[in-house]
A and B are shown apart, each in its own frame.
Chain A
Amino acid sequence: MTPPHKPRLGVFKFASCDGCQLTLLDCEDELLAVAGAVEIAEFHEATSAGVDGPYDVALVEGSVTTADDARRIREIRAQTRTLVTIGACATAGGIQALRNFADVEEFRRVVYARPEFIQTLGTSTPIRDHVPVDFELRGCPIDKHQLLEVISAFLGRRSPNVPTESVCIECKRRGNVCVLVAHGTPCLGPVTQTGCGAICPAFHRGCYGCFGPQDTPNAASLVGKLEELGMARPAVARVFRTFNALAPPFREAADAAAKEAVAP
């Protein structure tokens, strides 16, 4: 059963806030077990002692927003057996993918004193648009239990148990009272993938969709309900354009609402 060498783990960052990588450090109780089970070869948030590849498992955080990113992810892929993306940026472009709906040239001109120093692409794209990805772990940020499950699954050579069902099922298992039905609070739970533990509804807030779309979302039907609760079309477009704006079901819902909002 004992592998010939400890699996080598690399943690890599692209355009992101580092929150998902920090989830690994946030594992606290389990961190030593992880550190004992793998050789952490590359993890800038934890150590500056980088080790060159190859890597058995790479955890990739962040989206591709520069030409250099696009080159670097190919290099990492070439040196990695199992590539796992972690978080909304890496799996759906992240909040920075809002640039895809705007004029990045204009931002550059208006925001920066020396625009010529800024080298950036016009889009923020998920890792899967650039290289093959073995597993995508959702969330903004990811959930530490799911991260441990993924690491444990790849170490144990089994498939990770990461459900793709709605937030509602976790909300109900927790015994939360539905904020949409009982309070009239807009909530993306019915179309969003579980994984967070239904945190927001437990604190009387609607779901923000941090984990992206569930596997069979019906955004059009939910939009009808949001409008019934008094949400205007531009607001509907905004709730779907957050951390997972590029995920197709959310993107389509936002595009439809935005289009109808400007139509006469």
Chain B
Amino acid sequence: MLERSGFPSLLAALRQHGYRVVGPTIRDGAIVYGDIREESDLPIGWTDRQDAGKYRLERRADRALFGYAVGPHSWKKYLFPAHERLWTAVRTDASFAVRPEPVEGPPLAFLGVRACEMAAIDISDRVFGKAGDPAYSAHRRGSLRVAVQCGQAGGTCFCASMGTGPGVRKGFDLALTEILSPGRHYFLVEVGSREGAAVLSGLPLAPASQTDTAAAEAVVARTAASMGRSMDAGGLRDLLVNNPEHPRWEIVARRCLSCTNCTMACPTCFCNTSEEVPDLSGERTERWRRWDSCFNSGFSALHGASVRSSTKSRYRQWLAHKLGTWHDQFGTSGCVGCGRCITWCPVGIDITEEVAALRLPAPPPAEKKP
């Protein structure tokens, strides 16, 4: 148990243990992830109202530190940066020399990781682990996950139906439940690892009573009961894989902007492209990796033409991979139910609505040759 007044000591302890603390902060009308130097960097007393294609910050009636759902950023911006130099090559007399890019800086402490985000990081660990990606491993190594149990669900949240939340059950180093009861504001702290326990030593903690534990359970139960959306996750792999000609793809493609926002906001979308950036002299070149998207025509370009030239084929590719063939490739769904793709789609395309429509039987084709 950590009283609200003791919260700054947690931030201080994280820093003392050598972590760079990153977490929720307000910027440009949204709760984004950034460096947390002191508790006033946190979105104290703010929340978000979310719907398809719409996000607004609002004041809360209380002074909660974590009283919001998830924002436009996800932790992938730290683990898999949007632009990253992988190596540099310099021409030598007869050949060239490659200098790998060092990853420097202190290990990261992610403050305020939600259940869906824990699941997203676990998925990314598998995806990048399978690929043996040195850059991802370097950012991930030594990082600490300070989870927060969700105190309220956002309008586009559907983690409960994806089985990823809202309660954080495993994998965390520390897990906080923020409890706001009349006259008392405090945190239930759960310890999930030795690293997490080390941070807690010396903090002004009190043992949790049964009442406190019950209050914390009630927070998660209340959130689970107030999900903004839901998705029937049963048999999704087969549904997606077996319906490539469903008429719904055409309908969604009329709305889809092919702008990539859903994939950029998605905490598990990992598509990227690598490019060589040579200087004018031709003596030195750098290899950069940047976020790419299956919604870009260039993403599926093979010797001169794009394999997926239509928006319909790109949307189908995204959804069929995310909810379908992801299972074949990585053993889980690629969707954690965070709702970002719904909120941050400029025209509000709703993945839960699309899946529901795909479940409806396709009407028979108008014409059919015998």
On A, residues with C-beta under 8 Å from B are 1, 30, 33-34, 36-37, 148, 151-152, 155-156, 161, 163-166, 168-169, 172-178, 180-184, 187, 189-191, 204, 214-218, 220-222, 224-225
Please determine whether B347 and A221 come into contact, CB atoms closer than 8 angstroms: yes
Choose among B73, B254, B259 the residue with the greatest number of A CB atoms under 10 Å from its CB. B259
Q: Which residues of A contact B259 (CB under 8 A)?
A: 166, 168-169, 189-191, 214
Please name 10 further chain A to chain B contacts, defined as beta carbons within 8 Å, in addition to the given A168-B259, A182-B55, A190-B257, sorted by A numbering. A163-B296, A163-B298, A165-B293, A182-B29, A182-B30, A184-B54, A216-B310, A217-B258, A222-B346, A224-B347
Given contacts A30-B280, A169-B264, contact A176 B55 (CB under 8 A): no
- Report the nearest A residue to B31, measured CB to CB: A177
Please determine whether A177 and B29 come into contact, CB atoms closer than 8 angstroms: yes
Q: Give B71 Cβ to nearest chain A Cβ, in Å.
A: 8
Q: Give A2 Cβ to nearest chain B Cβ, in Å.
A: 10
Residue in A161, A190, A215 whose CB lies within 8 Å of B346: A190
CA distance A44 to B30 in the complex (A): 47
Q: Give B66 Cβ to nearest chain A Cβ, in Å.
A: 19
**B344 CB-CB contact with A under 8 Å:** yes
Q: Which residues of B contact A204 (CB under 8 A)?
A: 28
What are 22 residue pairs bridging A and B, where the CB atoms are less than 8 Å apart in the complex? A148-B280, A152-B278, A152-B280, A156-B278, A165-B296, A166-B258, A169-B259, A172-B72, A178-B72, A178-B344, A181-B54, A181-B345, A182-B29, A214-B258, A215-B297, A215-B298, A221-B256, A221-B347, A222-B257, A224-B347, A225-B53, A225-B347
Given contacts A182-B28, A225-B347, contact A156 B260 (CB under 8 A): no
CA distance A187 to B29 in the complex (A): 16
CA distance A124 to B255 in the complex (A): 33
Q: Which residues of B contact A37 (CB under 8 A)?
A: 280-281
8 A Cβ contacts from B15-48 to A: 27-30, 32
Please determine whether A172 and B254 come into contact, CB atoms closer than 8 angstroms: no
CA distance A156 to B278 in the complex (A): 9
**B343 CB-CB contact with A under 8 Å:** yes
Please determine whether B297 and A216 come into contact, CB atoms closer than 8 angstroms: yes
**B311 CB-CB contact with A under 8 Å:** yes
Please determine whether B83 and A173 come into contact, CB atoms closer than 8 angstroms: yes
CA distance A217 to B83 in the complex (A): 24
On B, residues with C-beta under 8 Å from A are 27-30, 32, 53-57, 72-73, 77, 82-83, 254-261, 264-265, 275, 277-282, 290-293, 296-298, 309-311, 343-347
Please determine whether A218 and B257 come into contact, CB atoms closer than 8 angstroms: yes
Please determine whether A216 and B311 come into contact, CB atoms closer than 8 angstroms: yes
Q: Which residues of A contact B54 (CB under 8 A)?
A: 181, 184
Q: Give A220 Cβ to nearest chain B Cβ, in Å.
A: 8
Q: Which residues of B contact A161 (CB under 8 A)?
A: 275, 277
Q: Which residues of B contact A166 (CB under 8 A)?
A: 257-260
CA distance A5 to B259 in the complex (A): 44
Q: Give B87 Cβ to nearest chain A Cβ, in Å.
A: 17
Q: Give A197 Cβ to nearest chain B Cβ, in Å.
A: 11
Given contacts A168-B260, A169-B296, A173-B83, contact A151 B280 (CB under 8 A): yes
Please determine whether B347 and A182 come into contact, CB atoms closer than 8 angstroms: no
Q: Which residues of A contact B290 (CB under 8 A)?
A: 173
Please determine whether B280 and A221 come into contact, CB atoms closer than 8 angstroms: no
Given contacts A169-B293, A172-B291, A224-B347, contact A177 B72 (CB under 8 A): yes
- Report the nearest A residue to B291, measured CB to CB: A173
CA distance A151 to B278 in the complex (A): 11
Q: Give B63 Cβ to nearest chain A Cβ, in Å.
A: 23
Please determine whether B255 and A221 come into contact, CB atoms closer than 8 angstroms: yes
- Report the nearest B residue to A185, measured CB to CB: B29
- Report the nearest A residue to B343, measured CB to CB: A181
Q: Which residues of B contact A191 (CB under 8 A)?
A: 257, 259
